[in-house]
Structure formats: C-alpha cells, structure tokens
C-alpha cells in the first residue's frame, strides 16, 4: 500500500523527522485559507497523486501569496495530472498540499528498502538528490552509495558514519544525518514498510535537515498489524478491480495479453509471467492467491480472468502447500466457471498438498482441462493455444 506524500510526512514526523509546515486542501478556497494560516512568505503547492515526477508536469509550483496559492490549486484540482509514471491518462488530482517553502543549501537523496533477495534492509543515498535521480544515476551524473542492515529489532549497525561521509556530510550535519538514518530504520521496522524514500532531504542554510518530499510503501501482508495505516488507503488512487481483488485475498493486476493466469504465490506468479514472455506469449493478468484465500475468494479471482474478453486460454499453475491446498484452488476454479458460464481451454500444472484429491474433484467438475506435469510444457501449450494452435 502506497501513502500519499502528506500522509507519509505525517507518519515520518511521528518518528522525529522534520517536515515543512503544511496543510491539505480539497478546494481552492481551502488552499488559499490554509496558505494564510501558514503565513510564510514563500509557499509550495503540490498535487497529491501516487506518482512521481510531478514537478516536471506542473504538479509542484511555488507561490508568493495566499491568493496565488488559491489560483494554482484551482488549476490543479479535479483535473488529471500526466507524468512519466502515470501513463497517458494521468491521475486526477483530488487534494493539494500547501507548505511553507524551505531554503535549500543542498539536496540529498535517502531511501531505505527491503531487499527481498537477501532479506536485508538496503540504505541508498546520494549527495545529489532532487528530481530525475534515476536518470541522472544512469547517466553518471549522480552517484548512489549503499549500506545494508538486518531487519531484526531496532538496533542499527553498520558504518553509518562512513555512509554519511560518502554522501558529503560533515561535522554536525553528518551527526544529524546519522540520527536521521537511525529514525528511518526505526520507521521501516515499526511500519512494516517495504520502502521509504526521501527525495529530497534538504540541508538548509543553517545546516538543518528537512524532509521535503517522501514516499512510503507498506507491506500489504502486514496491514493486519496496522489498522491505523490501512485506513489511510486512498481508494481513489487504486484500480477498482485490483482493490476488490485485495479484499478477496488476491494480488491481481490486469495486463494486455491473452493468456489468463491463476497462480498461488507471488514468486511463482512472477516466474510464470517471465516464462510466458520467454515462450513468445503475453499474459492477460498477474495473479497471486494468498495463503489466506478461501475457495470463494479464488472463484472471484478466476472470475476476473474469465471476464476479460481478451483471454483465450487459462493457465493454472498451482503448488499446494501450507495453508493453501490444491483442491481448494480447483474448487474455486469450478465455482467461477459455473458463475460466469464461460469456460476457457485450461492448461493445468498441479503439485503439492492434496493434489490427488484435486484431480478427483476435477473429474467430477468436467472442466476442459489438460494437465501437464512440467511447468515449461504447460506454458508452451498455453502460448500455442493463444496463438491459435493446440
């Protein structure tokens, strides 16, 4: 789950990180009144959407008076903002953040993220923060420094002082930078975050550090531990189909291909998508059936695939284990076919817990299924059917 910028800053302030004084408005009149309350000589108006590169699209603008803040808000609110990260349709701006402008001596980049390959927290920083950091890094204009930590507890180890020196911090600013990293680490652990990105982290003329922009992504699987964070989800910014799928214990994303996928497990799902592309096909969706999903939840997910008119074939790649058994998934498949009245040619690769019981249930359901034991063979057959063969 992604937090809006204003939400991320409020959360980070609870961990002792300094953020500019700001207010959130949903109308131009509110924005103007809030600017007057802040009372700063220079103000910033920022469109609140879940996408980066807002400044390049006119979504972050400076203002010199409350009246100018109101005029900018009037231009932004209720209209789509198109950035390189939104796609051509853009995202509609429902809120603006009005903040006091911060005097900038230097802009730093600071991010902490979960590295799924190693199970560690990866700290990434640069002395050259600000917009287009990824592109500048690829071109060699910005150097990224890294440092790894474990995810156990709130103790921060590693050469933090050395890291601060490598991103150009000295003296008291370096000590404040180390404290900022410690608090960032605490926030990652305390929030069950997958990513916290601060860009830029500004050093002002007095040497103080301020979080000028922030992004936080929370692990959806940990939201049951954070009901206060779950309430922050912005349903307006989430695809309706994906949101409904999440309520049914599914991670689901529509894609532009013609091979419908039913897969349990994110890793297996990603591997299946990669294999389809390698075989010359295109998936119609990504699906990850969570271990907490019941047969009716699975039926909802299969129904989403069957509702897609582009889908020509269904590839079911299942490994039963732990809380998720093969027969539960097959039962969900059968329920969905009965509900939708549509059955696609189905290629099945099945293994693990209750696989023999699942096969017995398949016989009783009379579904048009071809089972293959090898994952690669199953993918190749699905691609062949999508291309018009058998």
Which residues have a catalytic role annotated?
Answer: 109, 197
Rounded Cα distance between 139 and 225, Å, is 41
Q: Helices 171-191 and 5-14 sit at what angle, rounded to 10 degrees? A: 100
Contact indicator for 114, 194 with CB cutoff of 8 Å:
yes
Which residues fall within 8 angstroms of residue 323, CB to CB, at 6 or more apart? 291, 292
Residue 297, Ramachandran bin (φ over 0: left; ψ between -120 and 50: alpha; else beta): alpha
Residue 281: C-alpha distances to residues 124, 181, 380 (Å): 36, 44, 9
Beta bridge partners of residue 349, listed in sequence order? 317
Element (H, E) at 305: helix 295-306
Radius of gyration of the chain (CA): 25
Element (H, E) at 61: strand 60-63
Rounded Cα distance between 125 and 7, Å, is 22
């Amino acid at each position: 789950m992604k937090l809006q910028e204003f939400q991320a800053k409020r959360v980070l302030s609870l961990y002792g990180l300094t953020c500019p004084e700001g207010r959130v408005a949903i109308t131009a009149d509110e924005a103007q009144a809030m600017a007057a309350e802040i009372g700063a000589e220079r103000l910033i108006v920022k469109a609140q959407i879940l996408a980066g590169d807002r400044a390049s699209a006119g979504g972050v603008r400076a203002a010199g008076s409350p009246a100018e803040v109101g005029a900018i808000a009037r231009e932004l609110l209720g209209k789509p903002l198109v950035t390189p990260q939104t796609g051509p349709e853009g995202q509609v701006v429902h809120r603006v953040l009005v903040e006091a402008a911060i005097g900038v001596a230097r802009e730093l980049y600071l991010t902490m993220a979960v590295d799924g390959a190693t199970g560690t927290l990866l700290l990434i920083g640069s002395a050259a923060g600000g917009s287009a950091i990824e592109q500048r890094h690829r071109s060699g204009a910005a150097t990224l420094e890294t440092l790894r930590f474990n995810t156990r507890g709130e103790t921060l180890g590693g050469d933090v002082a050395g890291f601060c020196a490598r991103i150009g911090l000295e003296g008291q600013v370096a000590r404040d930078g180390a404290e900022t990293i410690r608090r960032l680490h605490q926030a990652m652990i305390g929030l069950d975050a997958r990513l916290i990105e601060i860009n830029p982290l500004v050093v002002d003329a007095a040497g103080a550090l301020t979080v000028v922009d922030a992004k936080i992504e929370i692990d959806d699987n940990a939201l049951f531990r954070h009901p206060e964070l779950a309430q922050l989800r912005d349903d307006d910014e989430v695809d309706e189909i994906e949101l409904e799928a999440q309520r049914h214990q599914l991670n689901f994303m529509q894609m532009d291909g013609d091979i419908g996928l039913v897969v349990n497990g994110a890793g297996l799902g990603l591997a299946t998508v990669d294999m389809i592309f390698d075989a010359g096909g295109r998936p119609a969706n990504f699906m990850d059936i969570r271990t907490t999903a019941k047969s009716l939840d699975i039926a909802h997910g299969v129904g989403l695939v069957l509702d897609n008119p582009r889908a020509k074939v269904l590839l079911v790649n299942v490994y039963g284990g732990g809380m998720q058994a093969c027969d539960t998934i097959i039962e969900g498949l059968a329920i969905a076919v009965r509900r939708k009245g549509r059955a696609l040619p189905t290629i099945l690769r099945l293994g693990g817990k209750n696989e023999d019981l699942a096969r017995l249930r398949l016989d009783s359901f009379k579904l048009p299924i071809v089972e293959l034991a090898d994952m690669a063979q199953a993918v190749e057959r699905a691609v062949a059917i999508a291309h018009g063969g058998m």
